[in-house]
Structure 1
Amino acid sequence: MSVISSREFNRDVSAVKRAAARGPVIITDHGRPSHVLLTFDDYQRLTGTGTNLGQAFVLDEETDFEPVRPRDSLREVDL
């Protein structure tokens, strides 16, 4: 497992992605672990989402959502 700073991550993302292919990479912020980068295959294995990422975002229950636009945001269209 590799550990790099967020500054190093920003400097060479490609190298970090190559390191993630070998195993999880811990990214630190001010010396403290803040994120973990891993391959998508590893993510699927850990989360049990299988091969269909879309299934990970499906809600089990229905939700009612009706977006409301504030009255002051209505404006005429200028053609």
Structure 2
Amino acid sequence: MKKIAAIVLASAAMISTAFAGEIQGVVKAVDADTATVELESGEVFTLAEGVVLQGIEAGTTVKVVFTDGTTEATEVSAVQ
């Protein structure tokens, strides 16, 4: 039973990773009212529930992790 649970957990982790995209860019604008971040490339990402943009503002270089096939950002972090 423990082996089955371990396999299920490992499979779930791989599936969630397989459906995530990642991009790096410079923030053009942050809109707190609509919970969106626009990159200078023109791409706009909507923040998933619970994503906090601490210290992210226009001009910040960021890495955006998003749900593949959507523009829902599951993580936005500053790149040093």
> Which band: TM-score by shorter chain?
under 0.3
Question: Which one has more relative contact order, counting CA pairs under 8 Å at least 6 apart?
Answer: 2
The alignment's TM-score, normalised by the length of structure 1, stands at 0.20
The alignment's TM-score, normalised by the length of structure 2, stands at 0.20
Which structure: greater helix fraction?
1
Bigger radius of gyration among the two: 1
Which structure: greater strand fraction?
2
